[in-house]
A and B are shown apart, each in its own frame.
Chain A
Amino acid sequence: MKHHTISILVENHAGVLSRISGLFARRGFNIHSLAVGVTENQSTSRITIVAEGDDRTLEQIEKQLNKLIDVIKVRSVKGVELLSRELMLVKVNCSPARRSELIAIAEINDAKISDVSESTMTLELSANEMRLSAFEELLKPYGIKEIARTGVIALQKGTGSL
């Protein structure tokens, strides 16, 4: 199923997220990931949703979102103009003897070492989804204890804005 990245500017007040997630649930649209945060303007939030579906579903999603009174703007960001990132924290098993190996892997992948303990190491990587998955694969042999991902956030490349 095709993935679409939808950027939604909404009023920043209580209950808005539930209206949006409720709309996805009741109309049978699948959410692949969802991220929310306040924008440069305190009164608005940006919700980035990666949704699954064909083009007709995407059209309905956009139209239905636009009907919500709290939604200010909706845009699906596509192809070359899509600038998207996701942040992942991965805690892997790591004995002191293997630390240097993991530090090397982190360096090659532009990841940061966020935390080290006696038996674990937590790495942090901000990248697009494909690179995150590749990084995760790379770490699997060490034994992944936990992963937390923020969900995709996106902007348009260039001067354009929502």
Chain B
Amino acid sequence: MSKRMTAAKALVKCLELEKITAVFGYPGAAICPFYDELELSDCGIEHILVRHEANAGHAASGMARITGRAAVCVATSGPGATNLITAIATAYMDSIPVVAITGQVCSDQIGKDVFQEADTTGAAEPFVKHSYLIKDANTLPETVKKAFYIASTGRPGPVLLDIPMDVLLSEIDFDEDEYAKPPEIRSYKPSFSGNKLQIKRVVDTISESEKPLICVGGGIFHKDSFILARKMAERADIPVVNTMMGISAFPNEHPLCHGMIGMFGKPVANLAINECDLLILLGARINDRAVLAMQERNLKVIHIDIDPAEIGKNLPASVPVVGDIHAVLEQILEQLPGKRHPDWNGFLSKCESEQNSLKPDVSQTSSVNPKAFIQVLNRLIPGDTVIVADVGQNQIWTANNISLGEGGRFLTSGGMGTMGYSVPAAIGAKKASPEREVIAICGDGSFQMQMMELATAVQHGINVKIIVMANRRLGMVRELQQNRYRGNLTAVFLDGSPDFVKIADAYGINGGYLNDIKNTNQALITLLASKKPYVLQVNVSENEGSVL
């Protein structure tokens, strides 16, 4: 039965029906009708006030990655919306289901350059899976329904809803039963299962291969498909590498798992890529930083992806399979026979243990070796910890050395490489899974792009832990300038940075310093025991390389 209400109220109802429990946002004049209803309604939706709109998007991204369902961020028109765009682009590059709601100036004012007006749908267009400018209030419920459907099906991605203020204030008839019906979009029918003939070819190609290799990407987390990927790898005895987005799909201790490929990846993983005779890509789009010399070789490639456009885009595929990774892996497992590759796996394991035997240098007492630090962290954190790495050297140190157990999860801005992602994404992840330990690892450069979010964590009691790898440099650019620009270091010195423990103190939370690796145990025990957010400043040598 339909009820008369404002479109703003209907929007809140829609979010409730989508089982949204928290939205991340920042108010403003144009979006106020929505906030009015959010406050008045007896809904179970908590609003988390971020301190910058981009962080609303990153927090929603962190939440969506943990729940596997679309999460919501909200901003007002004009600058609120344009601030949000970096986060939308970040979610787009990593295929994260986010529904972004922005206020817009009144419909009769659009195009007149009024106060806080921006062409949000136009500006965000390259970075969204789809967007709607809702001009007719009556279409709001079905449009919201479509937005959630599009964001979370097929290849997930951000969907933008731009809603003029007068539309939010209009009265419409809202029918909950109508809303529950599946949406009708004639031009959008995402594929599901893989083509049967192609599945057969996958199985045959794997059986013929002497040195097969699986590479998992971010898509493998869809419906926990990594469980099926593990079954596949174990049954056919296939070694596994991952892209940065695929970290934590396999527990590090898994004997078949050899870590991250690519420019900053593990030597053994890149060796595996160079030596294999068959590469099986599972939910990985293989970007320029991962692809390296693969194109040069006449390598057999099985590429399984939900998005046909990714297949053959950067790497020609001999066996392309379009479909939902979970469905396709189930189809493969129905047919895949067992097999052993003792020589191939023995070769890789030997290379890996040789590489692992290189112990980090821990002789320094005034700075901490990042690899040694993360090795200690690995021993202390629960297996199911969520680690959110930022962007820069901190990201590579973490990506290459973090070891998570069953249920552990590694998040980072893989495609876009957005600095300032880790703390807000950790806030979103913690909100999604409050019982798990959630730790953001960032650099002193990236922390200063997001430290305002300490207030968000404190205000809403979101207990995230933050590790700042401080080297008073923009380390990755410093390294690049060292290697490629004759050591001409420009604009990479972070002089004037604050004491991050004092910053934490200013927000009413605790923090600590770590200068000597010998004190790492105690420093991390204190961090993990804290019942409130905690900031650990780890002082790292300014000359440390990305690959240790």
Contact = CB atoms under 8 A, between A and B. Distances in A.
Decide whether A and B are members of one complex: yes
Contacts of B155: 67
B9 interface: no
Nearest to A25: B126
A60 B313 contact: yes
B483 interface: no
Interface in A35-86: 56, 59-60, 63-64, 66-72
Contact of A15 (B121, B188, B312): B121
A74 to B, nearest CB: 10
Nearest to B154: A67
Interface string A13-40: 0010011001000100000000000000
A43 to B, nearest CB: 9
Interface in B87-141: 121-122, 125-126, 129-130, 133
Given A60-B313, A63-B308, A63-B309, A22 B125 contact: yes
A15 B312 CA distance: 29
A129 interface: no
B356 interface: no
Contact of B312 (A10, A59, A69): A59
Interface in A89-107: none
Given A11-B187, A64-B309, A69 B150 contact: yes
A56 B122 CA distance: 28
Contacts of B129: 69
B309 A60 contact: yes
Contacts of B126: 22, 26
A39 to B, nearest CB: 14
Contacts of B313: 60
Contact of B125 (A18, A56, A67): A18
A70 B187 contact: yes
A69 B157 CA distance: 12
B122 A67 contact: no
Interface size grouping (class) on chain B = 10 to 19
Contacts of A26: 126
Interface residues of A, number: 19
Contacts of B133: 15
Nearest to A23: B126
Contacts of A22: 125-126
Given A63-B308, A66-B308, A69-B130, A18 B122 contact: yes
B309 A69 contact: no
A86 B332 CA distance: 50
Contacts of A60: 309, 313
A69 B131 CA distance: 9
Interface of A: 10-11, 15, 18-19, 22, 26, 56, 59-60, 63-64, 66-72
Interface of B: 121-122, 125-126, 129-130, 133, 150, 155, 185-188, 307-309, 312-313
21 contacts: A10-B187, A11-B187, A15-B121, A18-B122, A18-B125, A22-B125, A22-B126, A26-B126, A60-B309, A60-B313, A63-B308, A63-B309, A64-B309, A66-B308, A66-B309, A67-B155, A67-B307, A67-B309, A69-B130, A69-B185, A72-B187
Given A15-B133, A71-B187, 14 more contacts: A22-B125, A60-B309, A63-B308, A64-B309, A67-B155, A67-B307, A67-B309, A68-B130, A69-B129, A69-B130, A69-B150, A69-B187, A72-B186, A72-B187
